[in-house]
Structure 1
Amino acid sequence: MKRRPRRSTPATLTAVVLLAACALVAVVAIQMIVGETPWVSYRAVADALHNAHWNDLVPAIAGGVAALLGLILLLAAILPGKLTVLPLDGDLDSGASRRSYRSTLRTAASTVDGVSGAKLTVKRRKVTTKVSTGRTNTEGLAEAVRAALEHRLDQVSPALRPKLKIKVQAARGES
């Protein structure tokens, strides 16, 4: 199970912009059919476009912006995002959310004797743990945290086992 994030934000923004443009064109067309003065004059827009040259600054900037937006939307559609559900090992199609994975590892690091707090960052193949302690002598604390995290990873059994990086911060600046 490898769930990826939905691409709802780029799709929603594109849909809203296209809807606004279509609504404006429909309102102007209806105003022209009814015989009222339209919000946007068709003649003014047609004349402005007819008088524009390809080597002018405005068409070049508009084309560049359109190409950049198209490239951004294409990359958002093609490139995979971070996994929202991390796959677990086993016969069943199972997974753990990134948030619960981080939370269970943080809890395992915090239960080690001498650790007053833990911050974790979960990346694709690495988990970085920063633990803080009130001890002045931090010798052996990193190994104890590593052992606790390894034990918890054995219990969770992720499909791809991450590398562990542990940093210890002593209250008095010694590490």
Structure 2
Amino acid sequence: MKRRPRRSAPATLTAVVLLAACVLVAVVAIQMLLGETPWIRYDTVTGALHDTRWSDVVTAVAGAVAVVLGLAMTLAALLPGKPTVLPLRGDPDSGASRRSYRSTLRTAASTVDGVSGATVKLKPRTVFAKVSTGRTTTDGLADAVRHAVEHRLDQIGPVVRPTVKVKIRATRSTS
């Protein structure tokens, strides 16, 4: 079971850039073999590189861009991303996807009497529930939503039990 993201965006970006460079080199090589005028002349590239000095601004900027891209790719590979599957108690291979986890908690918050809509955000150790209501007084509604979400968390049984924070938004004013 894959519990972490696969880092497909940096891998895809790297593959596309390398593919474009390889296609360009192949096209130029084929043009040279066929005796046609290539898109990029070898003499022009080598002449430009030969005339470039280490102290030039272009060289420093190109080096800085290469370093930043290399560090970004290294950090993307080493730092963990958001888990795609949240582990559950019991069987070590049991887990729930973030989407289904969030959906079931949103449903639990929406079933509370007086709640007209709910959104749930998952953080590593906290669940944020934002609910809207048509009530003019919201006394006790946050506690009821918190209790409903915590009850659903007890049923799900995550390995790391998050704390639940609730924010109420009343669509009707008291005046």
My pick for the range that moved more, 22-31 or 122-131, is: 22-31
Gaps in structure 1 of 5+ consecutive residues: none
The 2-side partners of 1:42 and 1:86 are apart by: 54
Structure number with greater CO (CA < 8 Å, separation at least 6) is: 1
Q: CA deviation at 1:84?
A: 0.9
Q: Partner residue of 1:148?
A: 148
Letter in 2 for 1:152: R
CA deviation digits over 1:66-116, x for unaligned, max 9? 111111111111111101111111134111111111111111111111111
TM-score by length of 2: 0.93
Q: CA deviation at 1:9?
A: 1.5
Q: How does 1:1-175 map to 2 (within 5 A)?
A: 3-173=3-173
The 1-side partners of 2:118 and 2:64 are apart by: 46
CA deviation digits over 1:112-162, x for unaligned, max 9? 111111111111110011111111121111111111111111100011100
Letter in 2 for 1:38: P
The 1-side partners of 2:103 and 2:67 are apart by: 41
Q: CA deviation at 1:32?
A: 2.5
Q: CA deviation at 1:173?
A: 4.5
CA contact (8 A) 1:87 1:158 kept: yes
Q: CA deviation at 1:27?
A: 2.3
The 2-side partners of 1:59 and 1:10 are apart by: 25
Letter in 2 for 1:81: G
CA contact (8 A) 1:4 1:80 kept: yes
- SS state of the match for residue 4, structure 1? coil
Letter in 1 for 2:119: K
The 2-side partners of 1:8 and 1:128 are apart by: 28
The 2-side partners of 1:123 and 1:44 are apart by: 54
- Aligned-residue CA RMSD (Å): 1.5
CA contact (8 A) 1:121 1:128 kept: yes
Number of matched pairs: 174
- SS state of the match for residue 105, structure 1? helix
My pick for the range that moved more, 75-84 or 17-26, is: 17-26
